[in-house]
Amino acid sequence: MAENKTKATKASVSAFLKSVEHPKRREDAQAIKKLMDKITGWTAKMWGPSIVGYGEYHYKYDSGREGDFLITGFSPRKQALTVYIMPGFSQYDDLMTKLGKYKTGRSCLYINKLEDIDLKVLETLIKKSAAYMKKKYGVK
């Protein structure tokens, strides 16, 4: 059974964020960290070499594969600031129409720069998705 490649590490979140090359991406990442610190109440920790994660849940699929992963988080990637909304976006259509300019993947919200979106809407999206994950997986 394959193991999840992305795991929590002991690496420093602040050192990672300081190492982000692009000044605007670094500034936006610091702002998202501050927002997620406030929203979640959890301590940020590194997941793999480039994801700042909050909270943790344990999953188990019908196939027998299981593991642990972050409840929400972000990564200041070269192409975009990626925010992880683990339940995906289908249940948040009302918020997504108000968010602004972005792209999505399965659980990834891609933002070019924070000025492109409504931060209050993003805050609500993160709160709702984290609450959903906590309830679904019995996280305290």
pTM: 0.94
- What is the residue range of 25's domain? 13-137
Residue 29, domain member (yes or no): yes
**Domain-located, residue 1:** no
Q: What angle do CA 115, 117, 120 make, to 5 degrees?
A: 110
In a domain, 5, yes or no: no
Q: Per the domain annotation, does 108 fall within a domain?
A: yes
Mean pLDDT of 24-40: 97
CA dihedral 49, 51, 55, 58 (to 10 degrees): -70
pLDDT at 62: 87
| Structural domains counted in the chain | 1
Q: What tens digit of pLDDT does each residue of 33-60 get? A: 999 999 999 999 999 999 999 999 998 8
Assigned domain for 101 exists: yes
How sure is the predictor about 99, in pLDDT bands with cuts at 50, 70 and 90? very high
Sign of the dihedral through C-alpha 122, 45, 33, 51: negative
The backbone torsions φ and ψ at residue 16, rounded to the nearest 5 degrees and listed phi first, read: -60, -50
pLDDT tens digits, 103-127:
999 999 999 999 999 999 999 999 9
106 belongs to a structural domain:
yes
Amino acid 140: pLDDT: 76
Q: What is the CATH number of the domain that holds 120?
A: 3.90.1150.200
- Answer whether residue 110 is part of any domain: yes
